[in-house]
Amino acid sequence: MSAWVLPDHIADVLPSEARHIEELRRELLDTARAYGYELVMPPMLEHLESLLTGTGEALDLQTFKLVDQLSGRMLGLRADTTPQVARIDAHLLNRPGVTRLCYCGPVLHTRPDRPHATREPLQFGAEIYGHAGLEADAEALLLALDCLRATKVAPLTVDMADARIVRALVAGLGLDAPRLAALHAALATKDATELAALTKSFPAAESAALQALIGLYGDAKVLAEAAQVLPATPAIREALEQLKWLASRVEGAAVRFDLADLRGYAYYSGVRFGIYTPGASDALVRGGRYDEVGAVFGRNRPAVGFSLDVKELVGVAENRPLKAAIRAPWLDSGAADAAELRASIAALRRSGETVVCALPGHESTVDEFRCDRELARDAAGRWAVRAL
């Protein structure tokens, strides 16, 4: 194999795409900062138990592992940033009130999470700790929508569900881990035949409710239908009411519900959402409430947030017009007028212009900046910018 061939689902990012990704990253971070979110930069590498404690098997399988040559302990390359941010909130900041944090950095996956996906996403996320009320859920969802709007992604559709509904339906049934996993899989794939077989021995009310879940997908009418066909337990009533309340706060995006959607069921503790747009193979954004995320660090605080892959976002975000540059001649520092030219170039760069110096013998080189002007002497012998 050639030395320059990269591993599967790992790729270089070339200039045009890298520029677009960086522009999106800045817009996302600026949008989060406008909401009062503080930027944190957790390390790529941590002790394995810190990365995986309480996160479930799925994240364990996605995490690259290695041995620390200094301590002999197992280390992991992060596959998700949320556990690290929860650790920062719990131990390094340890604030008594609300904490808003955001981040943007690479994560690594042992396998792509879907066909054609990268194993090195650039994960942006925002999280709010310390508030158990629905106001925090609404803020996370509205910030996620504003982040996508800032990157000029449209139209948007919000899919909503709640982890408490299925938990309430299976509570008290005493299901072991394999049966529970099979049940979750059947619900997620909406496999009515498998679901009927799995719930055959359940009490009639729970069996009927679980089978009804796979048909509870659509617009706001779904919530009214769910209130009729699902048991009227306090947990289910609260979940449906909160979904309705959150949906009423969404503007400028379609809202749909899928009450059998269990993606991330081991992670979320309440309302969860995904945001979709045409052209994306899956949800651009996933988020929701995960109140237990900090418990393993000794501080069980309410938490809600979302994340997205900037590399995936670049595929559907509107391209930004390229800011054209100025081409300037290259003069040896010993030339008599070199100092004057350098001063002119420096002034242009300070004003925000891109100035590309044409190296000797490469005056006609084509690059991404597409110079539409040049720095040349005018009739009076001064350095001035003129159109090409």
Q: Which residues are annotated as a binding site?
A: 80-82, 123, 127, 263, 267-268
Alpha carbons 83 and 40: distance in angstroms, whole number = 13
Q: Are strands 285-289 and 271-276 parallel, antiparallel or unpaired?
A: antiparallel
Residues 6+ apart with CB under 8 A from 224: none
Alpha carbons 239 and 163: distance in angstroms, whole number = 9
Annotated binding site for L-histidine: 80-82, 123, 127, 263, 267-268
Residues 6+ apart with CB under 8 A from 111: 9, 61, 62, 119
Contact assessment for residue 102 and residue 38, using Cβ atoms and an 8 Å cutoff: yes
- 3-state SS string for 153-184: CCCCEEEEEEHHHHHHHHCCCCCCHHHHHHHH
Half-sphere exposure in the Cβ direction for 89 (13 Å, CA): 33
Nearest to 101 by CA among 38, 176, 180: 38
Half-sphere exposure in the Cβ direction for 326 (13 Å, CA): 22
Helix ranges (H only) for the chain are 15-34, 48-52, 57-62, 82-87, 134-150, 163-170, 177-189, 192-198, 204-213, 221-229, 234-247, 310-313, 338-350
In sequence order, what DSSP letters do the residues of 223-250 get, joined into one string? HHHHHHHS---HHHHHHHHHHHHHHTT-
Alpha carbons 328 and 150: distance in angstroms, whole number = 34
Alpha carbons 315 and 354: distance in angstroms, whole number = 26
